[in-house]
Amino acid sequence: PEYYTDVVSTRAYQDRLDTLQNVRGAGISVCCGGIVGMGETPVHRAGLIAQLANLNPYPESVPINSLVRVPGTPLADSEPIEPLDFVRMIAVARITMPKARVRLSAGRQQMGEAVQALCFLAGANSIFYGDKLLVTGNPDVDADVQLLAKLGLNGHRTGAAAPAHS
């Protein structure tokens, strides 16, 4: 939350929290996470996870994205997050939100198999797959299937959010 105003200027952080409350109030499952590798510190990352984990209830789906630096954008020259710091984010999300789908999201193409494998071992239990995630590439679906098989994980396609928890 503390780093939000350094990156977003179009709306206040409280607006985001109000939106989550409105989504939940409408009976819709909440999918809310964050993007890391935008210049934030480990303390900022911990603050994001703490904020999400302390929502009542916490989100059913928590995507953790690694910034994909796109040339010509304001964050193109951002220092990439260290792979083990990203894995720690996944682990802390899993520990603090044990019933959530912790989703390994954007930036997987740049991570490689080893880092993705560590993320699954640290607690990721979902991925977004397909050709693109918004404007950035994703690993090939066949590569995802092969990685899951190497790790002994059973993948299945679903469009549904995680079941609600309390």
Task: For the full predicted model, state whether its pTM sits above 0.85.
Answer: no
Which residues does 3 contact at the CB level (< 8 Å), separation at least 6? 38, 39, 40, 41, 44, 47
* Encoded tokens for 135: 């404007």
First to last CA, the chain: 23
Tens of pLDDT, residues 27-85: 999 888 998 998 888 998 999 999 999 998 999 999 998 998 888 988 888 888 999 99
Give the residue extent of every domain in the chain: 4-150
- 137-155 tens-digit pLDDT: 666 777 777 888 888 887 6
Task: Specify the CATH class of 4-150 in words.
Answer: alpha beta
